A and B are shown apart, each in its own frame.
Chain A
Amino acid sequence: MNLAVNSTMSPAQDHATREAAFAAALLDPALPMPAGLTTARGRPDPLRFAVYRNNVAVGLIRALEARFPVVEKLVGADFFKAMARAFIRTEQPATPLIFAYGDGFADFIAGFQPAASVPYLADVARLEALWTRAYHAADRAPLGIAALAAVAPEELALLRLVAHPAAALVRSAFPVGSIWQAHQGDTVATPASVAAETVLVARPDLAVTVTVLPQEDAAFAATLLAGATVGDAAEAALEANPAFDFGPAIVGLFALGAFTALETPDGASDD
């Protein structure tokens, strides 16, 4: 081992090492201010480094407040800030696309002990995360129900439907859609339901839609959006709920803009 090499660290390594120390101290207030920083008076000043620390925390917390406004209403601004402050230390934005930050927030909330008394909070966060995802999703015309009429009856069961880029489901043991809806105005309304809900988030054009699906359609929608054939999805739906009615279920999902193309068994697609 050549010790001389270690003692002459290149400036590039040095810069990278210092940057790593700077970044680590930004995110962990328990760490001391990194070495090598000074002021015009020639004295390091932790209060000045604290400006960067604060900027990072405030910026990331603001991004979460923007994406999860109903979660914030449900727990209050102070609780939300404390929860967000804990989250930003576990996960930073994967890219500079700050609107996409917080995909892991719902799972974090699910395991965040102080929020355990609000058991539906994580599912509301899942819904809000999907809302932003739908808002920025690719522009695609939803597939109209007429496309289905062109399929031969014997091929229908083997058909797969391609999910619209904005379309996604939240399946919750709580009335997550009703709770979300009740918090859209300036004043909080009474949630319309206390039962479990499955919610479809979609964006047929520019406006994001949030729709509570009939409970008997939940398994069908979930299986279909996961890429199963229409036949397998219907089977899963009937197994989950004998009251499942194929006609209204498929027409309803098409009307909400859930799909963008269909794939026939021979591999051809039609959009």
Chain B
Amino acid sequence: MATAVTTAPTPDTTHRTASLPVRAGLGLKPEHVHEILDTRPDIGFFEVHAENYMGDGGAPHRALAEIVSRYPLSLHGVGLSIGAARPLDPGHLARLRRLIERYRPQSFSEHLAWSTHDTGFLNDLMPLPYTQETLARVARHVDEVQQATGCRMLLENPSTYVLFEDSTIDEIDFLDAVAERSGCGLLLDVNNVMVSAVNHRLDPFAYIDRFPLDRVGEIHLAGYDETVDGAGDRLLIDAHGSAVRADVFDLYLHTIGRSGPLPTLVEWDNDVPSLAVLLAEANRVDAALADESARRGAPLRLRA
């Protein structure tokens, strides 16, 4: 029964881990809502993009209220533009606060990226240089978000296709410093690690080994696409339109081998398959989490 794993409704703002259950979660797709409510699949949690539920009323809110009454919820923002040079949008912060007050998600997360400029919202996650200046600004923005929403947030590592000549700080050190200064947790997107590592000729396993895993409250998994760049090098694209690739799943096993089991979301946002296909992906993750728990001689739900 899915409700058996429901945890405390208010995120713990003092503890380093989020209160999502240590299970596989799925992105909630509108086309699957009826089937989910009819069949009540045993899924650890559902995640939604906050902005899709910022309308005033109607079917989206009706559906989300039904889901939240049965499953834990992870709220994942794509529009705060935390990495931008410009100040955060107070109107958007207020919408976010209302949404969090209404649905009491077990976790709220956002991206180390920017997405809004003078001309408007770009609907994609743009990279930023890592410098003392941007570090101070991102830490301040994260602090503002946490003050405005009253909950501790998780900040997600990006997938990137370019580097900045004037970056002076390593990405992991940057994320660690933001977490240290603001008190936020981190969301570790293992697919993003693979995408960025391949794109920037780094070792993805070494990235995981250096990552501050004790700050991680949630893991994301997704499928990437592949092309080549102007130099003929492999270029991975963070596409979210397929199953988790084998190398990313291996990297995930390596990650939880080091961190221990963590709440893990499977993202599949484009060319969305049937619910059965998503459930099979979630089962694969749940099995990996159970194996890791067994290896550690601890019951799976201990940390939830």
Q: Which residues of A line the B interface, CB within 8 A?
A: 11-12, 14-16, 18-20, 22-23, 26-27, 36-41, 43, 45-49, 51-52, 55-56, 59-60, 63, 91-101, 134-140, 165, 203, 206
Contact = CB atoms under 8 A, between A and B. Distances in A.
Interface in B156-201: 161-166, 199-201
B102 interface: no
A63 B85 contact: no
Nearest to B200: A40
Given A37-B165, A38-B164, A39-B229, A19 B60 contact: no
A63 B134 CA distance: 31
Contacts of A92: 119-122
Given A15-B134, A52-B126, A139-B58, A98 B229 contact: no
A137 B56 contact: yes
Interface stretch (B11-19, B230-238, B254-262): B230-238
B192 to A, nearest CB: 14
A206 B137 CA distance: 42
Contacts of A206: 58-59, 62
Nearest to B89: A95
A51 B229 CA distance: 10
B52 A99 contact: yes
Nearest to B134: A15
19 contacts: A12-B133, A19-B84, A20-B118, A22-B126, A39-B231, A40-B202, A45-B230, A47-B229, A48-B230, A56-B124, A91-B120, A92-B119, A93-B123, A96-B116, A97-B51, A97-B54, A137-B56, A137-B58, A139-B56
B117 interface: yes
A46 B230 contact: yes
Chain B's interface size range is 35 or more
Interface of B: 51-52, 54-62, 78-81, 84-86, 89, 91-92, 114-124, 126, 128-129, 131-134, 137, 161-166, 199-202, 229-231, 233, 235, 237
B245 to A, nearest CB: 18
B51 A39 contact: no
B120 to A, nearest CB: 3
B230 to A, nearest CB: 4
Given A137-B58, A206-B59, A206-B62, A40 B201 contact: yes
B121 to A, nearest CB: 4
Most chain A beta carbons < 10 A, residue from B85, B89, B202, B231: B85
B57 to A, nearest CB: 4
Contacts of B161: 48-49, 51-52
Given A47-B230, A51-B235, A96-B78, A138 B57 contact: yes
B82 to A, nearest CB: 12
A18 B81 CA distance: 15
Nearest to B164: A36
Contacts of A165: 56-57
A206 B133 CA distance: 48
B162 A39 contact: yes
Contact of A135 (B59, B91, B128): B59
Contacts of A40: 163, 199-202
Top 5 A-B residue pairs of the complex, sorted by shortest distance between their CB atoms: A96-B79, A136-B55, A92-B120, A11-B133, A139-B57
A41 B122 contact: no
A163 to B, nearest CB: 14
Given A40-B200, A138-B57, A51 B85 contact: no
A48 B126 contact: no
Contact of A51 (B57, B134, B231, B237): B237
A81 to B, nearest CB: 16
A98 B114 CA distance: 16
Contacts of B117: 19-20, 23
